[in-house]
Amino acid sequence: MSLSGRAVSRARISIFLSYAEALIEDMRVLDMAIDAADANLLGSAAGYGTGLSLDRIRTTKALNFDRVHVTSTFSQMSRGRTEKLAAFAIRQVASTLARFASDVVHYVSQNFAFVSLPDALTTGSSTMPHKKNPDVFEVLRARCNRLQGVAHEITLVCANLPSGYHRDMQFTKDRIVHAIDEIGLCLRVAQHVVPSITPRTDVLDNEMYDAIFSVDRVNDFVRQGMPFREAYTIVAQQVADGKPVRSSRDGVADNNAALGSIGNPGLDELRQRLTA
């Protein structure tokens, strides 16, 4: 593989891993919402409990809940609150997917042409024979952006309600149930189409990107003992003078590089986090 090909390959891995890490972090938010819902309300009755000798701890264990909502009034107050937390978690995942879809839409355009999509995932223009529209990613972006409004809708429904149960709560159910189905669909679509994205490996052959790895050139000087500020000034002047500033290390794997850099993107670390 050429030097530019190696550089593009490492940068590509880094970009995809950034979204992988975002989704892993989103799972933490989902865990928060799941934990909020993992409490037993059974036995709280219509709002103030019951004088009957119900064993609420036993039903909690039998239904495999993590804990019991102790006070019956809070059991009522948790309505809407639980749905809202779930909606916020869904919004976080939807935000990640929407941003990824937006990047693909930009990078597949002729202005960038960093990646390409198969014909099966595009549609033709109504007038331009050459044009391929990334419809799947545009629709994915729209669906995910719309999902981000669900948390706000539920928040508004519950905004000025006093404690206790109110019929207003019924309007939180259809929104959260639909949102759960919708985010599941979006994730399945993303899982299906992402492997079809084909990155270009000759992007850096274009002279407009000659200075993109100027930092690696600065680091070359630093490794030789030069202070970073002085190396920065030298390379900046080289760029201004139109001199080549490519480094021999461009795109090369380097386990000594800081974790998360292009030379050491941290794939193994993220795999371990996902497994955990």
pLDDT tens readout for residues 86-111: 999 999 999 999 999 999 999 999 88
Number of separate domains in the chain? 1
> Does any domain span residue 241?
no
> Does any domain span residue 267?
no
Query: Residue 83 has which token pair?
Result: 């749905």
State which residues of the chain have pLDDT below 50. 1
pLDDT digits (tens, 9 = 90+) for 7-39: 566 667 778 999 999 999 999 999 999 999 999
> Does any domain span residue 240?
no
How many other CB atoms are there within 10 angstroms of residue 213's CB atom?
22
- Mapped onto helix, strand or coil, the DSSP state of residue 172 is helix
> Does any domain span residue 181?
yes
pLDDT number for residue 245:
85
Type and span of the H or E element at 133:
strand 132-133
- How far is residue 214's CA from residue 232's CA, in Å, rounded to a whole number? 9
> Does any domain span residue 216?
no
pLDDT number for residue 5:
59
pLDDT number for residue 48:
82
8 Å CB contact between 43 and 70: no
- Across the chain, mean pLDDT equals 90
- How far is residue 129's CA from residue 161's CA, in Å, rounded to a whole number? 56
pLDDT number for residue 88:
97
> Does any domain span residue 95?
yes
pLDDT number for residue 250:
58
DSSP state of 130: T
Give the number of C-alpha atoms closer than 13 A to the C-alpha of residue 21, restricted to the C-beta side: 13
pLDDT number for residue 122:
94
> Does any domain span residue 135?
yes
pLDDT number for residue 7:
59
8 Å CB contact between 65 and 40: yes
8 Å CB contact between 194 and 118: no
pLDDT number for residue 108:
95
- How far is residue 104's CA from residue 85's CA, in Å, rounded to a whole number? 29
CATH number, residue 169? 1.20.200.10
Residue 162 belongs to domain spanning: 3-37+71-206
Predicted TM-score (pTM) of this structure: 0.87
Q: How many angstroms separate the Cα of 177 from the Cα of each of 70, 87, 198, 256?
A: 26, 10, 35, 48
pLDDT number for residue 164:
80
> Does any domain span residue 200?
yes
